[in-house]
Amino acid sequence: MRIASIAGRAHLIQSDSAVDIASASNNLFPSDPQGLYRRWDEFSEWAKTLDLDELDSARSFEQRDLGNPVGHPRQVFAIGLNYADHARESKLEPPAEPVVFTKFVSSFAGPDSDVTLPSDMVDWEAELVAVIGRGGRDIPRSEGWDHIAGFTVGQDLSDRTIQWWAPPAQFSLGKSLENFAPLGPWVTSIEEIRAEHDPQNLKIGCTLEEANGSTSILQSGSTSQMIFSLPVLVEKLSALVELLPGDVIFSGTPAGVGMGMNPPTYLKPGQTLITTIEGIGSITQRFRSSNP
């Protein structure tokens, strides 16, 4: 099952058709994507009974019609240095406990979006983003997967000038500028991912396209390289903070960010970044100058 947002309303996606969930359920379920996670088990059961092809209300859509698929979660967790090779390129020790910051919800954007570059040190970080279904405290890692509703593709865009303004690092601010958290194209349910893949062994990466059409691969990793797996993150976060339905976890980025290049290389106006995770899909961000 895939859940996308079109005009701010949650839709079920099947190949190139979308069905408005509130309409198709006679308002049994709300149009706000966040509302679905509060009743995730009930919603999943209902969605299984639908045959989208038989619904008159199914409509076609284009990727540019899609918005951020998770709406406005109450809590956003982001994990720094969660891939050993990325910690190494950052010249930092792999952490003994998860490094946690937030991306403020006002930075969320859809899967096909434009980003104004506020400085010449904006970096890319392809990330698998988990969406919490059932919340809770003190969730053991053995039950961690049961609390994840699904996954989406995210970019943890990062202004390294702000991030390193002063010690301690300003991770949350430097990563929360306008449109710095593009997500999408949809949330793929954990059940659908698992039908063909292991969520802890998905190819993840991003490609840069220049204005002249030439492309280069920036990141190419696997979620198998995470230091703290998703169930371990659920355990460690829920030991301290109650996880709420619809919360999201940006689970860290593999090696290949611009800060780790020699010399360091950052995003430029006119470039397009395509971020892809196996089993979910791709998001596309175009970058433009802050001077019109």
Give alpha helix (H) positions in 140-286: 160-163, 171-174, 190-196, 230-238
Residue of closest CB approach to Zn ion = 156
| Structure tokens, 243 | 């996880």
Give alpha helix (H) positions in 119-187: 160-163, 171-174
Q: Three-state SS for 257?
A: coil
Q: How far is the CB of 101 from Zn ion (least distance, A)?
A: 8
Question: Which CB atom, from 112 or from 125, has the smaller least distance to Zn ion?
Answer: 125
Q: How far is the CB of 92 from Zn ion (least distance, A)?
A: 13
For residues 260 and 160, the answer to whether their CB atoms sit within 8 Å is no
Question: Which CB atom, from 18 or from 79, has the smaller least distance to Zn ion?
Answer: 79
Q: How far is the CB of 155 from Zn ion (least distance, A)?
A: 9
Question: Which CB atom, from 20 or from 125, has the smaller least distance to Zn ion?
Answer: 125
Residue in 271, 267, 270, 257 with CA at minimum distance from that of residue 220: 257
Q: How far is the CB of 147 from Zn ion (least distance, A)?
A: 21
Question: Which CB atom, from 29 or from 151, has the smaller least distance to Zn ion?
Answer: 151
Binding-site ranges for Zn ion (CB under 5 A): 125, 156, 253
Question: Which CB atom, from 113 or from 253, has the smaller least distance to Zn ion?
Answer: 253
Q: How far is CA 53 from CA 2, 3, 33, 60, 247, in A?
A: 15, 16, 22, 11, 31
Q: How far is the CB of 253 from Zn ion (least distance, A)?
A: 5
